[in-house]
Structure 1
Amino acid sequence: MASGAGTQSPNQILAGRYATALYEYAEEAGSLDRVIDEMDALGRLIDESPEFRSFLANPLIDIQEGTKAVRAVLQEQGFGTPVQDFVGVVTHNRRLFFLRSIVQAFAALVDKKRGVVRAEVTSAHPLTDLQSTQLRARLTELGYGRVQIHEAVDPSLLGGLVVKLGARLYDTSLKSRLQRLQYAMKGAA
């Protein structure tokens, strides 16, 4: 068993196998960069289309009809043959409901192969270019080589940042500080 596999769920392991198969196929075919871009686009398509997500989650879809429908969507969106064929295999194996997990596993595999660390950054307001640059520099100082920042905005944080790097979480949000202060005050009363 691969190291760290004990901490992964069976679904994560299965998604990793699909992702690895696609990565190796695309690398061998010389279309890795295009497949990487298209898998990112597929993830966005799934995230941004409630209808597509609903379709993928429907366990009652006939394999042949599902394959035709997914291929039509991917063709319309300009996806190349490798990604269309790959999604066809996923559909044939009755794993359409699992496609988003496979896309995530593929992105994680690409990051690992390229030495990239993804930082999920949530802030109360969008970061300025200067703030993003400073954050990237600080993360580099902490030993994270190539950092790719993915931003989200959550006004309920009030201020500060929440940075997630793999299993590590750095929470400097005003919301968390106020909660800690509230708990400390309850303990002192």
Structure 2
Amino acid sequence: MKGNTMIAQVVEPYAGALMTLAQETNKVEAFAENCRALLSLFQESAEFRSFVMNPLVKAEDKKGVLQGVCGQDVDAYFLNFLFLLVDRRRIVFLEGICQEFVALQRKLNNIVLADVTSAQPLTTDQEAAIADQVKQMTGANAVELNISTDADLIGGVVIKVGSKVFDASLRGQLRRISMDLLGSN
């Protein structure tokens, strides 16, 4: 627990500073997309993750790789922020900083993140229907869906928004029926 607190003490101020810079330069959405791209890269490439996290790699080498990964499309302010993280030896927190920045961007724009687990892959229409339902339930301007599949659900979906869980899975219905039957004895 103490480690998470220490990480938060580093991640939150840097993410907040990046948000301030993004707002001052009217580039919140662009920075959020940059952060999402980096988060995706962290998920897809263990090699990239270990390179960035490695304290033995020289700062100039890290800057060169970051510049190469980001390419010409990344805003100079964002790239300079990444270089600042390298110089201050805070680049190991990049993933957390990007996650926190995206969370701040969602809050700023009243966007809700819904974790959706379904028994089978969802169609585009089903995704849109779920997003509309979550919008109505939360009053959010928009909804981002984080979709995964779990065959153990048998059928239906489980939707988690923050601490609220809406279980419309067949497994959940069977569990509720079982609890009702056991409770009525």
- Which TM bucket (shorter chain)? 0.7 to 0.9
**Deviation, structure 1 residue 178:** 5.3
1:98 has 2:93 as partner: yes
Instruction: State which of 158, 161, 169 in structure 1 corresponds to 2:157.
Output: 161
The aligned residue for residue 50 of structure 2 is: 54
1:9 has 2:5 as partner: yes
* Residues 60 and 153 (structure 1), Cα distance of their counterparts in 2 relative to 1, 3 Å cut: same
* Residues 173 and 59 (structure 1), Cα distance of their counterparts in 2 relative to 1, 3 Å cut: farther
1:89 has 2:84 as partner: yes
One-letter code aligned to 1:26 = A
* Distance in structure 2 (CA, Å) of the matches to 1:30 and 1:143: 27
- Unaligned stretches of 5+ in structure 1? 1-7
**Deviation, structure 1 residue 154:** 2.6
1:66 has 2:58 as partner: no
One-letter code aligned to 2:14 = Y
1:171 has 2:167 as partner: yes
Name the count of aligned residue pairs.
181
* Distance in structure 1 (CA, Å) of the matches to 2:9 and 2:166: 27
**Deviation, structure 1 residue 13:** 4.0
The TM-score, its normalising length taken from structure 1, stands at 0.79
Instruction: Please state whether the residue corresponding to 2:138 is helix, strand or coil.
Output: coil
1:150 has 2:146 as partner: yes
One-letter code aligned to 1:97 = V
> Cα deviations across residues 96-118 of structure 1 (Å, max 9, x unaligned)?
22211111100100011111111
Which aligned pairs between 1:92-131 and structure 2 lie closer than 5 A?
92-131=87-126
One-letter code aligned to 1:74 = C
* Distance in structure 2 (CA, Å) of the matches to 1:172 and 1:138: 13
1:133 has 2:128 as partner: yes
Conserved? CA contact 2:28–2:105, under 8 Å: no
> Cα deviations across residues 52-84 of structure 1 (Å, max 9, x unaligned)?
1121232322233322332232227x4231221
Conserved? CA contact 1:63–1:91, under 8 Å: yes
1:79 has 2:74 as partner: yes
Instruction: Please state whether the residue corresponding to 2:71 is helix, strand or coil.
Output: helix
Higher mean Cα deviation, 152-161 or 172-181? 172-181
Matched-pair identity in %: 31
* Distance in structure 1 (CA, Å) of the matches to 2:174 and 2:58: 52
Conserved? CA contact 1:35–1:82, under 8 Å: no
The aligned residue for residue 37 of structure 1 is: 33
Instruction: Please state whether the residue corresponding to 2:145 is helix, strand or coil.
Output: strand
The TM-score, its normalising length taken from structure 2, stands at 0.80
* Residues 93 and 173 (structure 1), Cα distance of their counterparts in 2 relative to 1, 3 Å cut: farther
